[in-house]
Structure 1
Amino acid sequence: MSLVEMVPGQVELVVQGAGAAAASVRLFDRSQAEYEVAFGVEVVDDGVRARLEIVTVTVWDNMGAFFDGLARDFRGWEGERVWVNNHLVVTATFGSGGHVYLGWTLRSGFFPGDWSCTVTTVIEAGEGMTALAADVREFLHEQ
């Protein structure tokens, strides 16, 4: 994971597991209004690339809280945890070896013919998830 300041005040968050060929997710072009943050999302894995220019997350969506919960439960959990937004869905499962499998699904819409694309990043459950949760909060400008 890396939170990179592209130009003063404009940050980009890149989530990528270990290895050069690992899937990656990039959150970019963040803008903020009173109760929401809008940003672009791009996912890349094994020759597949999908991108949405605008995903809007409100303070009530609790995206940062979702990642904080994953970081707190570094010893694992049963089943799948899901965070859902109109155009972005993040699923989390705890796997062997103390890793969290994050599925990132981009959706262009909800109708027949609309596209969706899912990639999975693998993050270390302890320090890796703690760092990712902090980076997500910083990207979203959440306290």
Structure 2
Amino acid sequence: MVPMTPAAALAALVAIVLVATALGVLLRRREGRARAVRADAVAPTALGLAPGAFGERATLVQFSTELCARCPAVRRLLSDVAGERDGVAHVDVDVTHRVEIARRFHVLQTPTTLVLDARGVPRARIAGAPTRDTVMAELDAIEGKTHA
């Protein structure tokens, strides 16, 4: 085995740092953005909730865990938004001990938010902490409004 020269070691280190930085920037840019999803309707019971837990117009489903540092702030945001909009409900599903729910809904990080329409069909998925504008825009899209 040929020993690595200091120049080769430095080049490898720089390459690793550049790749890691690029991946970090890419992941950070996706954080908190809504993306459209195609999935079948979700029943409240599939999330361990009582029938009737969903809103008449839309439901904000927050997946969180016990050790999630950003989840309490997201919970407050989503609760506030749901309180401001008629027919919109916010439900928080703790997946700490419910691995089957996390797997079924492909929750890889918390918080993750699903925006469901009146029939329980997922219309958007937000990985990470959403902004108020992002959530309002998704609700407006469900209701056919233009978000200002």
- TM-score, normalising length: structure 1: 0.27
Where is the strand percentage greater, Structure 1 or Structure 2?
A: 1
Query: If you compute each CA radius of gyration, which structure gives the higher value, 1 or 2?
Result: 2
Structure of greater relative contact order (alpha carbons < 8 Å, 6+ residues apart) = 2
